[in-house]
Amino acid sequence: MSAPNPLHLANTAQQMARSAPASDAVVFNKVAMVCMGVMAAASVMQVLQPLLRDLSRKHAADDQRRGCGRSR
């Protein structure tokens, strides 16, 4: 079984909020917003991952040139 898609969960929560009483709708809308935030964070990390990897490699190469690298 695969992990649930946060966008699908957000969509379902919004649909449930439309048909729920006002107090319950607030909770469903918060669930939808959290799910959308999770997707946004995942998208940002996916975009930043190559940049962070390159920075990490550059930092490791600089440390190795200075002799600050870990001994193996």
pLDDT tens, 6-44?
888 888 888 989 999 988 899 989 999 998 998 899 899
Residue 64: band (very low, low, confident or very high) from pLDDT cuts 50, 70, 90: confident
H or E, element range at 25: helix 22-66
Do residues 43 and 51 lie in contact, with contact meaning Cβ atoms separated by under 8 Å? no
Euclidean distance between the first and final Cα of the chain, in Å? Answer: 41
Q: What span, in angstroms and rounded, lies between the C-alpha atoms of 11 and 35?
A: 9
User: What's the whole-model pTM score?
Assistant: 0.62
Task: Extract the tokens encoding 36.
Answer: 């959308």
